[in-house]
Copies of this chain bind each other. A is one copy, B any other.
């Protein structure tokens, strides 16, 4: 290793991850990398830290000619994006763990970095403790990725793990909030938006076409009930919030985040608690599967720290890492065209003919049924205006998602009117194909 001169680092943001990175600096003393200054939100707050060089003004770091690497750890779009761009314009290399900014403004940031000849490290932006961004940028370029999928949100995985043990969604959410895994307003996690930002970053790197989070078909986990957990288990599946992206045979990118029934023997089915996992299928490596903690002080700080060391080495060796998107013309697949197997849960009113009405609609839309379960006495009955309602579970052979949507719209109509055969909206989940 050459050691021309010291590299100075400035960190913007001294929350959980920021203090984790500072801890790693205080323990490891990396050779000739100095943590020079940290910009904090509230300079007058009392802190337990051995690190004393704090400022309330991030621009002090960005304008400091001695600082080579700016580490942005405040999260969110604003002002994080501005700090990143200003740092780049000042010729500073940037490390960030900000999935929002990278997923939304990645191309703008990478273009600025190219223009000002600096490097961007963003390993911490997806799945904290798993090293996946740098391998995607540097190693997988020699191969062909067919599919990149994962469990990218620890909060929902924790909730689904509790639900798999019999807990309701609502109770599991409360425990997740108590443990600090879920926010007071959990919607960003439970609606799949967090996972959508992350898969958009991974898929963009994997397929060389920038995909923004709003291009990702996204469903959350809030509609999953203990009925679904139970019958999924009976059918040999586990329900996980899956983020997935693949090349279709039309060479489009099929990218989505949604709960899915996955085969209980699939590796992803076995990733529980708040863990994340990423599975890459392709050539010539065949399968690449990583599990680690997705968030938290230690795991994310580990990624950020390693990025700092990596960027310091690139500064010394005058290496510029180009983040390329050479397939900008690839289209994102219309979900209507994507074929899928799936699972339907519908509450039938316990009266003659109700099942017949439902099956009639499925037949009209060309559903070829695989499993069909209705069972009384499991405790899943609902009393609706004095009429018992029982959940019916149906799985089917692959159909275009357009057909599914049309079927569901027709099934929804069945709940209307007196003596209607169905109670409530039907709930549909995809079944993940095994590879």
Contacts and interface: CB of A to CB of B under 8 A. Distances in A.
Contacts of A299: 284-286
A286 B313 contact: no
A302 B142 contact: yes
A52 B317 CA distance: 35
Interface residues of A, number: 49
Q: Which one of A1, A24, A285, A322 has the highest number of Cβ atoms from chain B below 10 Å of its Cβ? A: A285
A150 interface: no
Contacts of A318: 2, 317
A299 B280 CA distance: 13
Interface string A292-322: 1100111101100110011001101111111
Contacts of A1: 319-322
Interface of A: 1-2, 20, 23-24, 28, 30, 129-131, 135, 138-139, 141-143, 267, 270, 275, 283-293, 296-299, 301-302, 305-306, 309-310, 313-314, 316-322
List the 9 closest pairs (A to B, CB-CB), nearest first.
A317-B317, A284-B298, A289-B291, A285-B302, A139-B306, A129-B285, A28-B142, A286-B293, A270-B270
26 contacts: A23-B284, A24-B284, A30-B142, A129-B286, A129-B287, A131-B135, A131-B139, A138-B309, A138-B310, A142-B302, A143-B302, A270-B270, A284-B297, A284-B298, A284-B299, A284-B302, A285-B302, A286-B292, A286-B298, A286-B299, A289-B290, A289-B292, A290-B290, A314-B317, A317-B317, A317-B319
